[in-house]
Amino acid sequence: MNVNSQFVSAIFYRQTDQQENIDFYLYQDQTSGELQHLHVNLLSEDLDPFLNVALARGLYQKMYSFEVDNQEDYIKLLSLDEHFSKFSAILKQINDCDTLIDGQDFKLYFLNYSEFFEEKLPLHKTDLNSEKVHSQTKQFFQNHNIVEYAKQNLNAQKTLFCILNPDDHRLWVNLLEGLFQGTLQGENQKWISFDLTEMKPFTEELFKKIKGFVITGGHFHAYDTSLPYITYSYEIFNKIIYPEQDNEQKLVGICWGHQAVAHGCGGKSSKLPNNNWYHFREEIKYHDVDVNDQLNLSKILPQPFYSIKSHGDYVYELAREAKLICSSEKVEIEGMSIRNRALTFQFHTEFNRMLLMKVMDECKEFPGIQEIAQKAIKSFSQETYISNKYLNAQLKKFLVS
């Protein structure tokens, strides 16, 4: 892919027992012995371009000597318990860590070395003047007293965000969170996840502290009110979008989240006509509609806009007070905005070729799925990645607005 490079880096820290300082450790190449920070080139057409997941992949390779450089190995990593349980544990640590830098083409993570990585990934303090260290990492250390910065970063009051996950599938544990946090999380933010299927109530104090919510995709019908957690989810969505007292909370819903917000907030969703199932890139038409005074996606996003779809249900009636913001040839309501509080989309802003292959792998018993899978994978393109990248940047701004 010939677009600007993007990197994710990890700076490991360990607070010593006897001194109030923080030691920084970077990856040491086991073959050459050269010291370098761990960085992963994200823009890979065959692997993942997502920050948290890309870093987890890089760490997994170093810790377990499992080279992930082709589609077959990556599907094995994401689909088999023997690999995914370890990969997921690494991803959980990354999802919970702090972000020191959130730049346009570079992100610097702050990982606690002592808690998880020490025994599995022996590291050594590096010379930050080494040619192996990324230039933006060097600049960061030159501009900051790193010990003081680390202390402030760890103790700072962070804006709170929450991922609402309606999917309890064991092979998606921590992965859905990693996908969305890797594209939407910024500096001085704390992200938590909440499993809707468990129906554990938010305390009122915690709920009020959350600035933004993100609803992920899921396997079950968003309109199936025989499942208790579905109606429970509707209550949460209504509380955010139509609050009794005014607030500044925002909500982003993707796929299942789009359908559930519509159906739970006065609209309608159901199965696609003729039991169709879409797994393709599709051109999305954005309408000239203002989400708010500062945001009109039709004037910001690339036109034509392309994204990947993977769904068997759809929204056919808007939620109350909603605006139709985008459509496609197959589905009229591809996206909607509600009261400058919610943005929801049927298509997957977080998907790329590899995640689409994972979905296909899980659905391989369905009749005719192989033919559908091949068409879907071939439909992924550079334009799709670029479109999603621009939209995710706007969703990131929307959540903090």
How far is the C-alpha of 299 from the C-alpha of 284, rounded, in Å?
14
Looking at domain 159-400, what is its CATH homologous superfamily? Class I glutamine amidotransferase (GATase) domain (3.40.50.880)
Residue type, 10: A
Instruction: Name the pTM for this structure.
Output: 0.89
The predicted model gives 291-305 an average pLDDT of: 93
Give the burial string for 22-52 (b: 16+ CB within 10 Å, else e): bebbbbbeeeeeebbbbbbebbbeebbbbbb
What pLDDT is recorded for position 15?
A: 61
- Domain 7-155 architecture: Alpha-Beta Complex (3.90)
Q: Residues 6-27: pLDDT tens digits?
A: 567 677 766 665 554 556 665 5
Higher pLDDT, 199 or 379: 199
Q: Residues 77-123: pLDDT tens digits?
A: 888 888 999 999 999 999 998 887 787 667 778 887 777 887 887 76
What pLDDT is recorded for position 98?
A: 85
Q: What is the mean pLDDT of the chain?
A: 84
87 burial via Cβ count (<10 Å: 0-12, 13-18, 19+): buried
Q: Is 73 helix (H, G, I), strand (E, B) or coil?
A: helix
Q: Residues 148-199: pLDDT tens digits?
A: 776 777 778 899 999 999 987 777 889 999 999 988 999 889 999 999 999 9
Q: Residues 20-58: pLDDT tens digits?
A: 455 666 554 555 555 455 666 665 656 777 789 988 988
How far is the C-alpha of 358 from the C-alpha of 84, rounded, in Å?
12
How far is the C-alpha of 136 from the C-alpha of 237, rounded, in Å?
40
Using CA atoms, how far residue 73 sits from 57, 175, 236, in Å, is: 11, 17, 39
Bridge partners, 338 (sequence order): 322, 342
18 burial via Cβ count (<10 Å: 0-12, 13-18, 19+): exposed
With 50 as the cut, is the pLDDT of residue 4 above it?
A: no
Domain residue limits, the chain: 7-155, 159-400
The predicted model gives 57-71 an average pLDDT of: 85
How far is the C-alpha of 340 from the C-alpha of 355, rounded, in Å?
30
